[in-house]
Amino acid sequence: MSKELKGLGVGLTAAVGTVHVVAPAQALPAWGKSTIGAEAEATRLKGAIAAVSANLDELASRSDETTAEIFEALKMLLEDDELFEVAEGYLAEGSDAAGAIGQAVNEFGELLGGDPDFEARVADLQDLSRRVQANLAGIAVGLELPQTGQIILVGEDFSPADTAQFTPAVVGVITRAGGPTSHTAIICRARSIAAVVSVPDAFSLENGATVLVDPVGDRVVVGGTVSDATAALTFIDTDEEPIIPVRSNIGTAADAVVAAKTKANGVGLFRTELLYLSASTAPSVDQQAASYAEVLAAAPTGPIVVRTIDAGSDKPVPFLNMPHEENPSLGVRGFRLIVEHRQFIIDQLTSLEAARKQTGREVWVMAPMIATVDEAAEFANLARSIGSFKVGIMIETPAISMQVDRLQGVVDFVSIGTNDLSQYLFAADRMNPALGALLNPWQPGLIRMLAKIGADGAAAGVSVGVCGESASDPAFAVVLAGLGITSVSASPSQVNIVTNALASVTAEQAKEVAAAALAGTDAASAKANVLAALAKF
Ligand code: PEP
Ligand code: MG
């Protein structure tokens, strides 16, 4: 039997190629104390940042439009004044330039770590920091991949600067680290490169070996051929309407611009806290209104669902000065902040109403981390007293999942955050890579919970969207539609494929697919049942 390595598949098509192991980058020199003084170190650091920025410009000029936008965003991260100020603090304490940028980025990383979206930005920042340090030490960083052939890249993980150097020869990617929301996963999905991430034994693969990358089967098969691949689905690119609207998740105005180039019907989740990650003082109502107006104006046509600040736990927001908690994911996060920070939530809603009026866009607002019907009512009353919004809540806790029928007349809509709902349903920390199997959306426990929420929402006349990562999987999106979910919201890179999947089935067929999912007794059989059911249509 051929050797098989398990991991987490990304995308729907398999590939066979020759293993090309990317050796870990040359070690960077240890940080030291400055021997030339803070001012001279600052000049060196500025020079290195400028060189890395110029390199990002060059990579952007060789990339497609979407990747070029990623480089533009990275440049902004690298050239951030606040980051340089923090680095200057370390220079003043005697660090050398490499130590100053390294420590400044670590400080930002600690502040931002947690949520998958923030984690991706932290990983980007760390990569930029390594590039600046490599430049300071005169170490070259580059992948040097062949232009022709069919190679399967094997590495720890790949940064945006790495993926920009992928040549047409790269048909598959295997990483030891990274998860379903890593940059590698996002890029491979967007470019239809077969990928399996989070493969603990990735480095047991030998250069030159022929392997099958089988994302649908969540595995890599040494010596495998394409005919061994788990049935892969393709969805035809069509102009037909999907059976339920497919919206986009966004966090910034740049995301809104990208989403507007997809088939997205509006925005299903605007994570507002992404605008405040590095703000040390609370933004004023005018400042917020201006940022929201920019996002609303750029967003794809359709309603825009804005989530009020979801700080706490894995999303620290500096200006809220939140106290340390023993168990922050079970602590004061999301809407629970209303007790200490009511004025900030009022200011957000006030700014949103101003931006809504200024742009003429249809704005829906929702609160995160709701556990009781009383909390839902409190938010709904507050939001309606401030603006002309449709009002809703996120369903992220088992407690509110069990009371969707009681939301009739209280809210207009709910949106299920499957990332957190899985975490709380399975008592499994979403940031713990060891618990990935429990957080797999194909787990029957989650699918049954989603079925209940869909049915209770339909009976109560409350529309039920899903905006967690699970909705970015086209096959899972069909299951959701079949369970009575009335809209999904996916990451911008997945909007088109999810739309195509939902345009390729009828509502009746989606119900059959959902029944196949519900018949699965574990995650693997639920997924296999669904792929088999979809393959019939
Ligand atoms: C979720 O929990 O599924 C969600 C969409 O919110 P976030 O990932 O921002 O916590
Ligand atoms: Mg959440």
Q: Name the residue range of residue 192's domain.
A: 4-22+144-228
20 catalytic per annotation: no
CA of 309 to the centre of ligand 1 (A): 12
Q: Is the pLDDT of residue 374 over 90?
A: yes
Q: Exposed/middle/buried for 455, CB within 10 Å: 0-12, 13-18, 19+? A: middle
User: What pLDDT is attached to residue 64?
Assistant: 66
Same domain, 198 and 343: no
Contact indicator for 302, 368 with CB cutoff of 8 Å: no
Please tell me the chain's helix, strand, coil percentages from 3-state DSSP, rounded to the nearest 5: 50, 15, 35
Stretch 454-470: mean pLDDT: 96
**Out of 35-44, 115-124, 320-329, 395-404, which region has the weakest mean confidence (pLDDT)?**
115-124
Q: Is the pLDDT of residue 6 over 80?
A: yes
Which domain-ending residue is among 102, 118, 137? Answer: 137
Between 227 and 179, the higher pLDDT residue: 227
Q: Is the pLDDT of residue 475 over 80?
A: yes
238 found inside a domain: no
User: What pLDDT is attached to residue 153?
Assistant: 96
Same domain, 375 and 523: yes
- 39-67: pLDDT as tens digits: 999 999 999 999 999 888 887 877 666 66
Between 328 and 274, the higher pLDDT residue: 328
Same domain, 181 and 259: no
Q: Is the pLDDT of residue 7 over 90?
A: no
Same domain, 489 and 428: yes
Contact indicator for 417, 468 with CB cutoff of 8 Å: yes
Looking at the CA of 116, which ligand is closest? Answer: 1
33 found inside a domain: no
Q: What CATH number did the domain enclosing 98 receive?
A: 1.10.274.10
Q: Is the pLDDT of residue 434 over 90?
A: no
Give, as one character, the DSSP assignment of residue 242: P
Contact indicator for 398, 427 with CB cutoff of 8 Å: no
324 catalytic per annotation: no
**Which residues fall inside 5 Å of ion ligand 2, going by CB?**
417, 420
Same domain, 338 and 383: yes
Q: Is the pLDDT of residue 210 over 90?
A: yes
Contact indicator for 320, 311 with CB cutoff of 8 Å: yes
b/e 300-318 (16+ beta carbons within 10 angstroms → b)? bebbbbbbbbbbbbbbbbe
Q: Of 211, 215, 180, 179, whose CA–CA distance to 194 is shortest?
A: 215
Count of domains forming the chain? 3
Which domain-ending residue is among 194, 228, 262? Answer: 228
74 found inside a domain: yes
Q: Is the pLDDT of residue 158 over 90?
A: no
**DSSP E strand boundaries for 377-527:** 390-395, 413-416, 463-466, 487-490
Contact indicator for 160, 126 with CB cutoff of 8 Å: no
Mode of pairing for the β-strands spanning 363-367 and 219-222: unpaired
**What is the residue-averaged pLDDT of the chain?**
90
* Cα 524 from chain centre: 23
Which domain-ending residue is among 137, 161, 185? Answer: 137
User: What pLDDT is attached to residue 415?
Assistant: 98
Look up tokens 């040549």; give the residue: 167
Of ligand 1's atoms, which has the minimum distance to the CA of residue 467? 5
Pocket test for ligand 1, best of 419, 429, 464, 466 (most atoms within 8 A of CB): 419
User: What pLDDT is attached to residue 78?
Assistant: 87
Q: Exposed/middle/buried for 262, CB within 10 Å: 0-12, 13-18, 19+? A: buried
* Cα 453 from chain centre: 23
241 found inside a domain: no
Confidence of residue 277 (pLDDT cuts 50, 70, 90): low
Q: Of 535, 532, 524, 534, whose CA–CA distance to 444 is shortest?
A: 524
**Out of 178-187, 223-232, 403-412, 448-457, which region has the weakest mean confidence (pLDDT)?**
178-187
Mode of pairing for the β-strands spanning 15-21 and 151-155: parallel
Same domain, 522 and 457: yes
Give 341's contacts (C-beta < 8 A, 6+ positions apart): 320
CB atoms within 10 A of CB 31: 16
Give 276's contacts (C-beta < 8 A, 6+ positions apart): 283, 309, 311, 317, 318, 319
Confidence of residue 142 (pLDDT cuts 50, 70, 90): confident
Confidence of residue 181 (pLDDT cuts 50, 70, 90): low
**DSSP E strand boundaries for 70-201:** 151-155, 170-175, 194-197
Instruction: Write the residue with the smallest CA distance to atom 8 of ligand 1.
Output: 419
User: What pLDDT is attached to residue 72?
Assistant: 79
- 278-333: pLDDT as tens digits: 677 889 999 999 999 999 999 999 999 999 999 877 666 778 888 888 888 899 99
b/e 178-213 (16+ beta carbons within 10 angstroms → b)? bbbbbbbbbbbbbbebbbbbbbeebeebeeeeebbb
Stretch 175-183: mean pLDDT: 73
CA distance 469 to 455: 21
Q: Is the pLDDT of residue 167 over 60?
A: yes
User: What pLDDT is attached to residue 322?
Assistant: 80
Residue 83 backbone dihedrals phi, psi, to 5 degrees: -65, -45
CA of 68 to the centre of ligand 1 (A): 27
One-letter amino acid for residue 11 of the chain? G
Give 73's contacts (C-beta < 8 A, 6+ positions apart): 254
Contact indicator for 498, 488 with CB cutoff of 8 Å: yes
Of ligand 1's atoms, which has the minimum distance to the CA of residue 415? 5
User: What pLDDT is attached to residue 287?
Assistant: 94
233 found inside a domain: no
Q: What CATH number did the domain enclosing 349 receive?
A: 3.20.20.60
Pocket test for ligand 1, best of 467, 485, 488, 489 (most atoms within 8 A of CB): 467
Same domain, 18 and 54: no
Of ligand 1's atoms, which has the minimum distance to the CA of residue 469? 3
Same domain, 128 and 218: no
Between 111 and 303, the higher pLDDT residue: 303
Look up tokens 């529309």; give the residue: 463
**Out of 160-174, 253-267, 309-323, which region has the weakest mean confidence (pLDDT)?**
309-323
Q: Exposed/middle/buried for 54, CB within 10 Å: 0-12, 13-18, 19+? A: exposed
Same domain, 179 and 263: no
Give, as one character, the DSSP assignment of residue 72: H
Sign for the CA dihedral angle at 483, 487, 490, 496 comes to positive
b/e 329-343 (16+ beta carbons within 10 angstroms → b)? beebbbbbbbeebee
Q: What CATH number did the domain enclosing 179 receive?
A: 3.50.30.10
Confidence of residue 346 (pLDDT cuts 50, 70, 90): very high
**Out of 36-50, 112-126, 418-432, which region has the weakest mean confidence (pLDDT)?**
112-126
CA distance 497 to 265: 13
Stretch 187-194: mean pLDDT: 81
448 found inside a domain: yes
Q: What are the C-alpha distances in Å from 439 to residues 58, 75, 305, 430, 445? A: 39, 33, 25, 7, 10
Among 178-192, 197-211, 349-363, the range with the most confident prediction by mean pLDDT is 349-363
- 485-537: pLDDT as tens digits: 999 999 888 899 999 999 999 999 999 999 999 999 999 899 999 999 998 98
Strand order in the sheet with 219-222: 4-6, 219-222, 210-214, 15-21, 151-155, 170-175, 194-197, 8-10
Same domain, 77 and 160: no
Ligand 1 pocket residues where CB is under 6 Å = 115, 269, 271, 310, 396, 417-420, 467-468
Mode of pairing for the β-strands spanning 390-395 and 363-367: parallel
User: What pLDDT is attached to residue 521?
Assistant: 98
465 found inside a domain: yes
Q: Is the pLDDT of residue 373 over 70?
A: yes
User: What pLDDT is attached to residue 371?
Assistant: 98
Confidence of residue 164 (pLDDT cuts 50, 70, 90): confident
**Out of 140-144, 349-353, 464-468, 478-482, which region has the weakest mean confidence (pLDDT)?**
140-144
| Token couple for 28 | 């960077």
CA of 416 to the centre of ligand 1 (A): 8
Confidence of residue 120 (pLDDT cuts 50, 70, 90): low
Of ligand 1's atoms, which has the minimum distance to the CA of residue 116? 8
Looking at the CA of 472, which ligand is closest? Answer: 1
Q: Is the pLDDT of residue 477 over 90?
A: yes
Confidence of residue 82 (pLDDT cuts 50, 70, 90): confident
User: What pLDDT is attached to residue 65?
Assistant: 66
Same domain, 17 and 47: no
30 found inside a domain: no
One-letter amino acid for residue 77 of the chain? L
Same domain, 56 and 124: yes
| Token couple for 502 | 């939902």
